[in-house]
Amino acid sequence: MESSRPLFIPVILGTIRKGRMSAHAAAVMVEEIAKRPGVETELIDIASLPMPTGEDDAWEAIRNAGFADKMNRADALVLVSPEYNHSYPGLLKHVLDSCLKEYIHKAVGIVGVSAGPFGGTRVIQSLVPLMRELGLVNIFWDVNFSNVQKVFDASGRLLDESYRRRIDKFLKELMWMARTLRHGRENISLE
């Protein structure tokens, strides 16, 4: 029996850079998820999270209760990450490392953003093994915003509507995986 409770799929904006184009990509993802019935979403901007460093146990010291609650409630995550030196922003890793059990058996889809032609494919490749280690389940579709400075205008308006078709395919797969994994978490024992 499928749960009638709405899915919760937050979108994590993974950079704090001033002038970040990834913010436009994250806004489109939130807009597209919000259109779908039976799904709730919100933007989690890592720039708005406290980033403590601590002398105590490293993992507990960087934990943020508000972020952990959202990860606990989430059925799936959309991760929007720019490509910085062929990898992901260090502060995104810092935030992701602050949780673990909250992610287990939940779906994740990755949106790569780059100024170059490859649409963040290299950052996605770097993130895939990290997702696995966190217990998240990668879907097999990505969204790649290549030449991102040409995809949005200065106000963040999407100039290339063809992205919406790709996002639709990505979200259908992500929602299927989110529902499937929720069913498993709630009904199927590991033993």
Ligand X SMILES: Cc1cc2nc3c(=O)[nH]c(=O)nc-3n(C[C@H](O)[C@H](O)[C@H](O)COP(=O)(O)O)c2cc1C
**Residues of this chain that bind ligand X (CB under 6 A):** 15, 17, 20-22, 82-86, 113-116, 148
CB of 86 to ligand X, least distance (A): 5
Using the minimum distance from each CB to ligand X, give the nearer residue, 39 or 92. Answer: 92
**Shortest separation between residue 167's beta carbon and ligand X, angstroms:** 17
Which are the contacts of 185, defined by CB distance < 8 A and separation ≥ 6? 105
Q: Which is nearer to ligand X, 8 or 84 (CB)?
A: 84
Quick one: how many helices (H) and strands (E) in the chain?
7, 8
* Amino acid sitting at position 109: G
Q: For residue 134, give both structure tokens.
A: 């966190």
Which residue's entry shows tokens 């970040």?
20
Of 150 and 183, nearer to ligand X (C-beta) is 150
* Distance, CA of 63 to CA of 9 (rounded, Å): 20
For ligand X, which is the closer residue by CB, 20 or 182?
A: 20
Measured from the CB of residue 114, what is the shortest distance to ligand X in angstroms? Answer: 3
To the nearest 10°, report the CA torsion of 138, 142, 144, 145: -90
> What is the smallest separation between the CB atom of 146 and ligand X, expressed in angstroms?
8
Report the amino acid identity of residue 186: E
